[in-house]
Structure 1
Amino acid sequence: MADDDPEYPDRPGYSFNPGPPPEASRFFRNKGLRPAFSWEDVEPEEHAVAFTVAKMTELDLLEAARDEAQKALDAGVPLEAFQKSWRTNPKLADWWGRREMEDPLTGEIVDAQLGSPRRLKTIYDANLRSARAAGQWERIERTKAAFPFLEYRLGPSETHRPHHADKAGMILPVDSPFWEEWMPPNGWGCKCWVRQVTKAEAGRRGVSDMPDVQDRIWQNKRTGDRQLVPVGIDPGWQRNPGKLRLQNMEAMLKDRLLALPEAARRAALRDIATSWRVARLATDPSSVGNAPVGLLPAEFAEAAGTNLHLVEFSNITRDHVFGQDKARRVGDLKWMAFLDLAGRVALQKRPGSHPRLIFDLDAAANPASPDPYERLPLRIIVVVKASGLFVDTMYRVTLRRWTALKRQETTKVLKE
């Protein structure tokens, strides 16, 4: 089977030219960072929301590694170019060969393998294939009315794992629980994939019976934890990351975001703020309603006298604030996920008006940008109502505006 089979252009992971679907790129970009000494230190659920590399325990190294993988995913960079870019990255150049390291779990000094051609290939394959598959799952959910079934397909490997080969050609509904665990890739080096199928084709070819999926007990040698892992799936690969991320987004939509773990909550915030539904609401004049885009930190909610946390964006804000500059303003919406990182925060209470929380985000400024607008910090104003928290307006400001703001009698500085 050719690597770029034109009959199935949606197959994830085999040809990265001219680049990934936007869902895959966004899925990877919205991941956080998870330092780890071993892949066994990271749960499958964490892999869906955080980028990690075994033996890479420093955040600045992880950030540089994630940037290299993101660049490869976005630009369709082949493996050889990815390896060369990694080796010439000044932050990553020394992360190579073998080195003595202390295992933080045991305190032992071990001879650890850092970077190598084989390891870079693993990092490249695992991250890019899983990102493309997760992006594909978002499209699957969005288009399942037209393509309500999935077919399990084998990749171009010369040999296939028996349990994967047994499932080749199997057709099941998108909503089948089978895909909770068996959405490929299903292990290290796995090149399996799924193809979307119409109801007519599924009826013509026949819908498969739900397979009898057997589980085995796998014990994590580092933590001692015992987990049920489906037979045929490598430990750590038994979750569908795209489905898990969408479930986290739905938790946010249903105001259950606070129940999620911190890493999952942050990824869900980034996912929803950059999702197609928010982009449509922000750019389509015919789109009406609200969409959650951020979470109000607890200390600022308390200061504003509200027990609400979910911040929503509405078509009213779009029509009132965005005007003709929608494209640039939509890019600013992603910063709603980072209200807790605001450099300056104020509470404004004007007579006869709802309280307003004002956030100035220095991190949103890009000093190197040729666009003067993007070189300034971003101000986000959230209006606090009994019915909810809403984005009132957002714009770029200078520090002089902050000085003027805090001098006003109606303003209380919460953070500076």
Structure 2
Amino acid sequence: MSTLHPFRRGNLRLLQKSALRLNSTKVESTTAAVQPEEVPVTSETKAAGTAANNTESPHFKLLNAHNIPYDGPIEQLAEMSEAQLNEIVNSAPSPTLGRENILNSRFEKLLSLYGNRDKLKKQFSSSSSLLARFPNLVPSDSTSPYTPAELTIRQKHHASMMGGLGSKIVKVYQPHTLITNPPKINQVTVEKLMASGAHLGRSTQLFNQNFQPFVYGKYKGLHIIDLEKTTSYLKNACKVVQGVVENGGIVLFLGLQVGQLRAIKEAAKRCNGYYVARKWIPGAITNSLENPKPRHEVDMQDFKTNRELNTDESNQVIKPDLIVILNPESASVAIKEANQARIPTIGIVDSNVDPSLVVYPIPANSSSGRTTNLICGVLGKAGETGLQRRLQKVAEYKKTLGMEPNENFGLIDKIDDEN
């Protein structure tokens, strides 16, 4: 048995003495009722009186109905009824201090619960509550903290009762979905563009006069971009990307600001293109000496043909067929090289940028990461559609020739040359 609190031990001793005093008064009353006549004082009666007075000593043990002494005050209280407990509690002297009154009232409540434990146990076993579903559960004492099993049951009960309450949050913005699962161009609406902040332009003091056709208005020192025109120009850019990839062209995604690496990487992966992040090396297009070597030829399915290239083909300048620039204002060198090499460009232009810098401008907020991720994902999705169409056409063409879908065209060319 665990040790009791000092206050509880004191109250139990007090109750034990009160119980002994109550039993002694009951014995005296019963003896007076049975033997109304006076008993002469003898040596035996003196001895009996001395034994009765010794019941107040701490070494005295109260006997139960079977004349077996109790082990402690808890066992004595265990066999008492609720009325006997209340009588003992009321017979105990009340404390004098206010703190003791509060503690004594709490102790009386605990004793009343302890006296009614059998009744409460029957109610618990017969109830249809959640705890009744677990017959092997041992409930903790009312003065002890909950056990881990009880806490788990209480949490399940709370979830079943209160889990369905509250607001249901729908259409929550998740940043990774614009990169991992971007929408198609037919799913892009003005509401999605506005939610991404594409309508917010730069300050009116930084306004470029050539951007005037794309301005919707002014608000608190900012130019508001017309999202209807943004949607229209974005559709045209998607058609360009889809057409270039479908015809076997190379698309290069260029994002030089922090936080754009993952977006351009995923977009380039979708359309089997390339990307440049953080810094554009001057001369990457115009300086042919910096092109990678050795080189190899690929077919329309992007498989190696294993054909040996001649000198002119080995020295030919490799350049992309289309460049997608997320921030044209910070990629002026790349735009100049693309214009010099006659490479078409697609760019997200803001209100402080001249739209004529790129061939296919998309008026939107280029400083917002959410906007650039959305537009880059949509363009990458369009390139993926073009790639699937190209592979499907090549598979149908191979089928007409009696070839397998994964068979290489270079093997057929070698066989024809040998024949």
- TM tier relative to shorter chain: under 0.3
Bigger proportion of residues as strand: 1
TM-score (norm 2): 0.21
Bigger proportion of residues as helix: 2
Higher normalized contact order (CA 8 Å, seq sep 6+, divided by chain length): 2
> Which structure: larger Rg?
2
